[in-house]
Amino acid sequence: MPQVEAQPYAFPFDGDLDPAKTAVLLIDMQVDFCGHGGYVHQMGYDVNATRAPIEPLQRILKAARRTGCRIIHTREGHRPSLADLPQNKRWRSAQICGGSGGIGTPGPCGRVLVRGEPGWDIIPELLPLPHEDVIDKCGKGSFHATDLEMVLRTTGTTTLLLGGITTDVCVHTTMREGNDRGFECCLITDGTGATDPGNHSAAHKMVTMQHGVFGCIASSEAILSVLDGLPTNPMKLRPAWPQRPFRPLVLAPQGNLLTNTIAEAKPFPYSFLPTSVALLMIDWQNDFLDPRGFGASLGNDVTSLRRGVDNAKRLLELFRSKNLTIAHTLEAHARDLSDVHPAKKRRCPKIGEKGELGRVLVKGEAGNAIIDELKPLASEIIIHKPGKGAFYATDLETQLRSAGCTHIIMTGVTTEVCVQSTAREANDRGFEVLVVSDATESYIPAFKEATLAMIVSQGGIVGWTAETGAVVRALA
């Protein structure tokens, strides 16, 4: 397998191009950026410049798919609530659109750069195949607040071919992020486009400085000359799992409330502003609580977990009645299991296997749904997490910060695994955590008690605990 003729060095630097270790990253080829009536068009730029990469990328895509390279698409866009849109970004967007338009405002292609709108989606010429990963990002870089790095690491990808728009903004930011994380990056010169020709050329030149400060650049022809010489990968037709649906986030309005205190909390009183507190509901899933689910299949008595359901429901209804922030987590994996670490799969070989409630711990399956008593509302935050902790490889922190949350009241299962992992992660990120002692449960009661003791030890080194009644009285 030969190297690609690139500047300032042959790509990749350490040997021949290997499709098994290579991902083609198509960045933001969306209607809003290269379609008529989209965001770039509204800003007054010539969309022909941002449409120029389409044909080269179509040829790259065809060859890469044939040889078995991983294909990853990105979309820049924000939640319908705009909870993940920084104010400075929103202000700049409005200025360039005349002071009253920009991100989040209605346009010919729907609300600009809002997830689920026609302008946010990828153009028809480069639509992803059902099994190809799509990274939805709220920033310019594709690694910020996304699981892109985790997907690349777990699939053994070390080499990136980057195309898309715009060259000087999202493509360059992503290339810089990838380089800093140790990925070998090559920017496709005619597979990228920008609103300004000078910026487009300058962005290419910047890459080549200092003998490839961020990687290298190559034309689509140079890349195709290598890909076209490679054999067809017999495993290139991966399972065509359907794309997971987008769940909108609409945060409820919050009032101007006074500080509340849970005096009975351990190891000392827990004070918070209701406008700054979130209820975090961890992994109340059928896979763990249903007698036909994954937990029961391991020999666990699921009735022990159900003891916490009524109290969790009581808190959920209370937070809803107060219009406070609520987030639900699910331990869930992609259908192709690309986000399952090999070590985790070895420890738990049932992940992805067929069970009574569908494939175990896989997004969209019946077992992966939250139990009926605690089912989320469309306006509540949903976090699909590939690990035990809810902050790992998710955007939970970004969403909580955007909602102004500094305190977390936590329920969920199991106490010693996912609840404890999340409490520790939140603590390390500066959130004040309270685990509701009678709204969390374990298959092994002794583990629950040990966990609660650990949390409040050393002056609450990880957080606080309190019973449901105390939380209810504090918020009443």
Alpha-helical (H) ranges within 298-350 are 303-306, 309-321, 342-347
Choose among 262, 9, 19: nearest CA to 156.
Answer: 19
Q: Using CB atoms within 10 A of its CB, is residue 128 exposed (0-12), middle (13-18) or buried (19+)? A: middle
Cα dihedral 268/272/276/277 (nearest 10): 50
363 is catalytic: no
Q: Name the catalytic one among 34, 138, 170, 185.
A: 170
Angle at 177 between CA 171 and CA 182, to 5 degrees: 125
What pairs with residue 75 in β-bridges? 136
For residue 286, the surrounding DSSP H or E stretch is helix 286-289
In 3D space, the residue among 170, 163, 80 whose CA is nearest the CA of residue 125 turns out to be 163
Question: What's the rounded Cα separation, in Å, for the pair 379 and 255?
Answer: 17
Query: How many whole angstroms separate alpha carbon 132 and alpha carbon 155?
Result: 13
SS3 261: strand
Dist. CA 281–CA 445, nearest whole Å: 20
Instruction: Tell me if residue 186 is catalytic.
Output: no
Q: Annotated catalytic, 28?
A: yes
Task: Please give the sequence-ordered ranges of beta strands (E in DSSP) within 253-320, or none if there are none.
Answer: 260-262, 270-272, 277-282
8 Å CB contact between 464 and 434: yes
What stretch of H or E contains 27? strand 22-27
Which uninterrupted H or E stretch holds 456?
A: helix 445-460
User: Can you tell me the distance from the alpha carbon of 447 to that of 176, in angstroms, rounded to the nearest whole number?
Assistant: 44
How many Cβ atoms from other residues are within 10 Å of residue 204's Cβ? 18
Please report the beta strands in 166-269, taking only residues with DSSP state E, as ranges in sequence order. 184-193, 216-218, 260-262
CA–CA gap between residue 362 and residue 337 (Å, rounded): 8
- Classify residue 267 by burial, with Cβ atoms within 10 Å: 0-12, 13-18, 19+: middle
In 77-211, which ranges are E strands? 133-137, 159-165, 184-193
Residue type, 461: I
Catalytic residue, from 69, 97, 121, 137: name it: 137
Catalytic positions are 28, 137, 170
